[in-house]
A and B are shown apart, each in its own frame.
Chain A
Amino acid sequence: MKKISTLLIMLMILISISSLAIADESEENPGEEEEYEEETDGQNETEDLDIDNDTIKEIEIMNNSLGSEIRLLQLQKAIIKNLLKGEMAVDVLKGLDYNTTSLEAILSEMKDLLEEVKTVNTSSNNSVQLFVELKSVAKNLTKHFRETIKDLLGDEKLKQIRERIKENISEELENCSKMIRNKIRQFNRNQLYKLYGIIGEANNSFVNEYLNGNISVAELKLQISKTINQMNKEKKYEIFSEIKEGNIKKKIHAKAAIEDIENKGKGKGHGKEK
């Protein structure tokens, strides 16, 4: 009888300990889930197109034509920069009597791609999809060029050529940079007016100062933060919620656009590694 009672007590103690362990686990789990989410976020690349987290972030502003214009101009700039570097590398290699046919073919494809980027209609519904596809092609061509030149030259010579090729400045690149800066200022002005709409007061001279380049984006952000922080708790929360809601909507829009692109399954030919 004693044995039975001891066993029974042991069993009950075991149950008590296990229930405590369960209680502990339930407190730890949320953290674990967060960690898992962070890990998967870092590997958010699809198989067909090279859609990384940067691209998802970039398309957040493409829900209007100005945002699309900015991103496509930025893509143009990135391609022009790489074309200039590529052309310079080819010139150096030609001077050293290397066969540059394969490299020139890649540069030619890049030039065609640049023209394609220039012709994208930024008001069109599929501008996001085209941006994702064209960026993916640009990345693949760049990678292809980098690997081809690495096959032609050893690491040491590659290092020498890298040193000879400095950051190039061309008229086209300069114009592109100016256009991007102006478009970003317009975009930020629109955002500023949206915020003023939420806050309930507007400062037009401040907006003009920013558009004229007398105030930087950092100063602009600081000023808005100060204005909101001076408000009472309820108003501050109301404004914070509206801004956050807008930012979450942008993120959802971007995710939906990516899902749409994946579902359509287009751009497979563009996105494949070369």
Chain B
Amino acid sequence: MNKKIISITFLLIILVSITLAYNFCDTSSTDEKQYDSPVENIDENNISEEIDNTFLEEDDEIEIGEMI
């Protein structure tokens, strides 16, 4: 009986360890992907967005509110 309990306990410990290890590996690989993504996935929209931020629109105005 004791042997059974011990083996079940070990099995569960292994299960928990695998879950935690998988979680750790998954997080670090996700981080890597996030870091690498700009290199791999620069599309026209990314470039247009940065170019938009570089120039000023000629009709650009400052808002201080309406008088009435």
Binding site for B on A (CB under 8 A): 1, 4-5, 8-9, 12-13, 15-16, 19-20, 22-23, 26-27, 54, 58, 61, 70-71, 74-75, 77-79, 82, 85-86, 89, 135, 138-139, 142-143, 145-146, 149, 158, 161-162, 165, 181, 184-185, 187-188, 191-192, 194-195, 217, 220-221, 224-225, 228-229, 236-237, 240-241, 243-244, 246-247
Contact = CB atoms under 8 A, between A and B. Distances in A.
Contact of B60 (A79, A158, A184): A184
18 contacts: A12-B13, A12-B16, A16-B16, A20-B19, A23-B22, A75-B62, A77-B62, A78-B63, A89-B67, A139-B64, A145-B67, A146-B66, A185-B58, A224-B51, A225-B47, A240-B38, A243-B54, A246-B54
A144 B29 CA distance: 56
Contacts of A23: 19-20, 22-23, 26
B55 interface: yes
Interface residues of B, number: 41
B12 A12 contact: yes
Given A9-B8, A23-B22, A217-B58, A158 B68 contact: yes
Contacts of B8: 5, 8-9, 12
Interface in B1-37: 1, 4-5, 8-9, 12-13, 15-16, 19-20, 22-23, 26-27, 30
B54 A142 contact: no
A240 B47 contact: yes
